[in-house]
Chain A
Amino acid sequence: MLSNGMDKRILVVEDETDMRIFMSALLETSGFKPVIAKNGNDGLARARQEKPDLIILDVMMPEAGGAATYQKLKNEEGLKDIPVIMISAVAQRTFFHYISMLNTQSGSPLPLPEAYIEKPPEPQRVINTIKNLLFQGVVSENTFDNGAS
């Protein structure tokens, strides 16, 4: 493959078939190894099993919703340090507000995700965000989607 020496495994938790296909193609052609999960519970199981380098999570999934999955990921030893990119049709502001509301009720405050991208995801933005998180280890300003789309 076109490996740039980046054999990193990325877990994609996404309920929409189209989005899963798109993400796999995007990740594979950029040299990453995608691991695919169709829902939140499956996603958690795969995360424990595969210990991916990064997780891409859809927030609007039905059933064990993406937000609940996120909460579990960030509360579990061994998983909570894996950076998470949220992908969602929900505006970033709305989701961050939701997290802060959750935090007021719970003893263990939930951190914000390492990055947030609003749907539909722009391929180059997804790749840049992944590279920033994996290789620079820091969250740069532009990692966050400012809703300017």
Chain B
Amino acid sequence: MSTTENIPILLVDDEEGIRKVLGLTLSDMGYEVYTAGSCESALDIFRKKKPPFILSDIKMPGSDGLTLLRTIKQESPDTEVIMITGHGDMNLAIKSLKFDATDFITKPINDDALEIALRRARERRLMKEQLKQYTENLEMLVKEKSAKLVRSERMAAIGQTVTGLSHTIKNIAGGLKGGAFVLEKGISTINTKYLNDGWRMISGNVNKIARLSLDLLNYAKTAEINLMLVDPNLPVKQALEVLEPRLDSHHITIQTVLESMPAICFDPDGINIVLLTLVENAIDACLQKSVLPDKNKISITSVKTETGVTYKVEDNGCGMNSDVLSKLFNSFFTTKGNQGTGIGLMMAKHIVDMHNGSLDIKSEAGIGTTFVVTIPDGENKKQMQKA
């Protein structure tokens, strides 16, 4: 049979006569036959020639066929091993099947029985190979498809970003046009109110576009973080300096509790942007809620953790419902009408992610919001950056 042409097979039997007769039969069937008289020499040949099929006597002096079977199956589970048993050795035959022998045949060996056992072994081997190939193909297919999916998701994200950005710009352009209209009416009717209103609209929208471009610029800057060894409380202090005038003008009480701690490796400018964004949002949230102005409170704390630092920004402002929470980090999503650019929190999240940190929110509509930023010491990350 051509399917057996030159397939290596290892024949193991302690009786030379059987090795000869059986060896001839197997050669006639087209196999390339190796023979061994003991378990030890069989293993030697197996390790050198790696035959896919082994035909082995079960009872041999020294290490017996079962030991050989177990060793082979351990080293190469795919090798098909057929055991030869004496008539009435049913127990041994069953044992060999338990140890995952492909089949067993009984002495005296009938050529047809041998042929059938070998054919089954070949089929089994073929099936295993096909299965392996299918699995590999499937894995490749999954890999390919998911790569495509990731690509298309990324394209969708870019599309969303562009749509959001053009929407924001369209709004500003609308405001500028409206302002120009009101200003023109003021000029043509010599109406001071229109002149003032129109001018206010125009300058407001100019500010807005300035803010948008600044936000976008900041966002582009956060593509990389610049790790350095700094006191984690430094960016908090810097943020507070910038925000103090706004906090004062709205009569918002600010409470800071900063734990002194050793310097860690992080990007102080990036974290400064994160804290600025969070406190700005807290201020906006306080202003949204119409309570007595002096009742508004924002607290900032820093706590040393095992791996770095945790900042907490807490306000008793308007809070958010679950719908808003779910969209919080989307680009260009804003609850502040034409006042927000929808970039701040998305950017904050991005910076924290780049630090391998976490940004968690607890919020309840009408009660307030707490943002918790955890930044791990980036010592090892810095090493990677160097590399």
Contact = CB atoms under 8 A, between A and B. Distances in A.
Interface in B193-246: 194, 197-198, 200-201, 204-205
A25 B194 contact: yes
B337 interface: yes
Interface in B239-261: none
A93 B71 CA distance: 74
A22 B198 CA distance: 8
B49 interface: no
B173 A120 contact: yes
Given A25-B185, A29-B189, A19 B178 contact: yes
Nearest to B204: A18
A119 interface: yes
Given A15-B337, A18-B201, A18-B205, A25 B174 contact: no
Contact of A29 (B175, B185, B201): B185
Contact of B181 (A62, A119, A123): A123
Interface in B346-370: none
B167 to A, nearest CB: 8
Interface string A37-55: 0000000000000000000
- The majority secondary structure among interface residues of chain A is helix
Name the residue among B174, B177, B198, B205 with the largest chain A CB count within 10 angstroms: B174
Nearest to A23: B178
Contacts of B177: 120
B137 to A, nearest CB: 45
Contact of B201 (A15, A21, A119): A21
Name the residue among A21, A62, A119 with the largest chain B CB count within 10 angstroms: A21
B223 to A, nearest CB: 31
Given A29-B189, A120-B178, A22 B170 contact: no
Contacts of B194: 25, 29
A15 B185 CA distance: 22
B182 interface: yes
Contact of A18 (B167, B179, B335): B179
B338 interface: yes
A89 interface: yes
A110 interface: no
B182 A22 contact: yes
Interface in A113-143: 119-120, 123
B192 interface: no
B246 to A, nearest CB: 20
Interface residues of B, number: 23
B74 interface: no
Given A16-B337, A16-B338, A29-B185, A22 B171 contact: no
Contact of A21 (B171, B173, B197): B197
A22 B177 CA distance: 9
Contacts of B337: 15-16, 62
A18 B175 contact: yes
Interface in A1-38: 15-16, 18-19, 21-22, 25-26, 29
A29 to B, nearest CB: 5
Contacts of A19: 178
Given A18-B175, A18-B204, A120 B170 contact: yes
A26 B180 CA distance: 12
Contacts of A22: 178-179, 181-182, 201
Contact of B174 (A15, A26, A29, A119): A119
Nearest to B175: A18
A26 B177 CA distance: 12
Contacts of B174: 119-120
B170 A25 contact: no
A19 B337 CA distance: 12
Contacts of B182: 21-22, 25
Nearest to A25: B182
Nearest to A30: B185
B338 A18 contact: yes
Given A21-B201, A119-B171, 11 more contacts: A18-B205, A18-B338, A21-B178, A21-B198, A22-B179, A22-B182, A25-B185, A25-B198, A89-B167, A120-B171, A120-B174
Interface of A: 15-16, 18-19, 21-22, 25-26, 29, 62, 89, 119-120, 123
> Which 5 A-B residue pairings sit nearest by Cβ, starting from the closest?
A120-B174, A22-B178, A25-B182, A21-B197, A18-B175
26 contacts: A15-B337, A16-B337, A16-B338, A18-B175, A18-B178, A18-B201, A18-B204, A18-B338, A21-B178, A21-B182, A21-B197, A21-B198, A21-B200, A22-B178, A22-B179, A25-B185, A25-B194, A25-B197, A29-B185, A29-B189, A62-B335, A119-B174, A120-B170, A120-B171, A120-B177, A123-B181
